[in-house]
Structure 1
């Protein structure tokens, strides 16, 4: 074979290898959420500032609070009351960069259980510097409008842009939305309207997706349905285009009503947990 004809084949082979899904262990239970304060864990995010700390919150009807839990046991470490926030139907939480530096926690009040569009609010707080019970003020809130009825997936990218994926009866009807970090200053009186022409490519028979996360380095995306965890490799960080492609299926332990998934703080594995009392926390390590 001539060198000139070999190079395209080599390039395509290297590209295919780079885009191959990483391998993950089947996973094991690392803890149990035993706190009576967390009966409906609906959202999960790994701290960027504290080792072995995950953040979670309750589903609709709860108070505006997030909880820090030990990733190695599920034990509640602290409760943070979010002053300046309301809780109509909190559905997901994510940790990532603040627009102006540091680490922030993002909370999505975007669920359909509120029965109206009041729930279309995103909250941003600075990640707690200490893990103990106390109140935290909302650093910024973003009100928006769109043509969707429900959303349980909030993800933050390394550039501090956010991505929302709406929850619909079948996953291929779900849309992917980008919320740029500059939008936070232009959202008064629900003036921000989000639109999207991108639908998820894969098919899931049932309401989905119910959670998701972008890895800390931005190269990997997870989305969760009630029965599966899906993966995309996104080395170019074009998440809109990536989520229009079919994903890889990753290991997953069936849960009662598992709506939570997140990468660990290094992107070397992912966690899942479920609503319900004494919910197990599972970890799936990359290898």
Structure 2
């Protein structure tokens, strides 16, 4: 075969290989889901606002638990939208001045009440650095803010990720990658620098499921909830080992998850319009204590 033709075939073969791997990963997760109980799910509301066509993240406000924040992923304006949970109505839109988002995929709120927008999507795993943007919770209304930007790189190379987690104890943040065969949990530095690139280190013993699309700590910090395309998974926040999982009803694209303040349930959302918000009630033995304070026992080593 002509070498030039052989080179032309390589990208196509790589695409086919990636498709095969993705199908295999989804089949494995579907098979695992068949062995699980279905999650206890109830509809809450639906986002129909045309400004939110690709809701890729969800986090409940700490200032007003009746509200949540969401953001569109790649190809959209750098705007955080405030949503009334009970109705799905957009009641606020905050534009991030100076932010050039490549692929915003996650939101989290830390112990100090700072809202973090995670521009960490990297489908082709080609980004040398990703960015986190920090701002005060905007709550209601139309406004514009200039967030603080923090650059991050992974110590082991590029990774596609859609989950940023802030420990309620205030002892750091974590990124969970969206691996086809399983995710990697990365620990961010305890104090982030704005003048140099922050290095995210993998946690060697952490085991995350495949194709994680969002996540959150439960309020007491004892459990981490992760969303995948087909289900929801709970992990022990000290050992990072799975303690429970369940399948979820099919949606157009399973993208978001947010823990509710009492720790007994999580909200899950989907891309596309209309975009349903649903409540998943957690089993009794996996729930955070009602309105539990952070225990601060998370082992970061």
TM over 0.5, shorter chain = yes
Distance of aligned partners of 1:63 and 1:119 in 2 relative to their CA distance in 1, 3 Å threshold: farther
Unaligned segments of structure 2, at least 5 residues? 1-36, 285-301
Q: Where does residue 57 of structure 2 map in the other structure?
A: 43
Structure 1: how far apart are the matches of 2:124 and 2:77? Answer: 14
Unaligned segments of structure 1, at least 5 residues? 1-22
* Structure 2 residue 175 is the aligned partner of structure 1 residue 179: no
TM-score (norm 2): 0.75
Q: Where does residue 134 of structure 1 map in the other structure?
A: 143
Q: Where does residue 86 of structure 1 map in the other structure?
A: 100
Structure 2: how far apart are the matches of 1:105 and 1:202? Answer: 24
Q: Where does residue 227 of structure 2 map in the other structure?
A: 224
- 1:8-62 per-position Cα deviation (integer Å, ceiling 9, x unaligned): xxxxxxxxxxxxxxx9971211111100000000000000001310100001111
Check conservation: 1:111, 1:119, Cα contact below 8 A: no
Structure 1: how far apart are the matches of 2:128 and 2:49? Answer: 29
Structure 1: how far apart are the matches of 2:84 and 2:179? Answer: 32
Distance of aligned partners of 1:30 and 1:113 in 2 relative to their CA distance in 1, 3 Å threshold: same
Structure 1: how far apart are the matches of 2:117 and 2:100? Answer: 11
1:163 to 161, 166, 174: 174
Deviation at 1:188, TM superposition (A): 2.7
Deviation at 1:253, TM superposition (A): 2.4
Match of 1:112, SS state, is coil
Check conservation: 1:88, 1:114, Cα contact below 8 A: no
* Structure 2 residue 72 is the aligned partner of structure 1 residue 58: yes
Corresponding pairs, count = 244
Match of 1:170, SS state, is coil
* Structure 2 residue 273 is the aligned partner of structure 1 residue 270: no
Check conservation: 2:83, 2:91, Cα contact below 8 A: yes
Distance of aligned partners of 1:64 and 1:199 in 2 relative to their CA distance in 1, 3 Å threshold: farther
Check conservation: 2:258, 2:267, Cα contact below 8 A: yes
CA RMSD of aligned residues (A): 2.2
* Structure 2 residue 78 is the aligned partner of structure 1 residue 71: no
Deviation at 1:189, TM superposition (A): 4.6
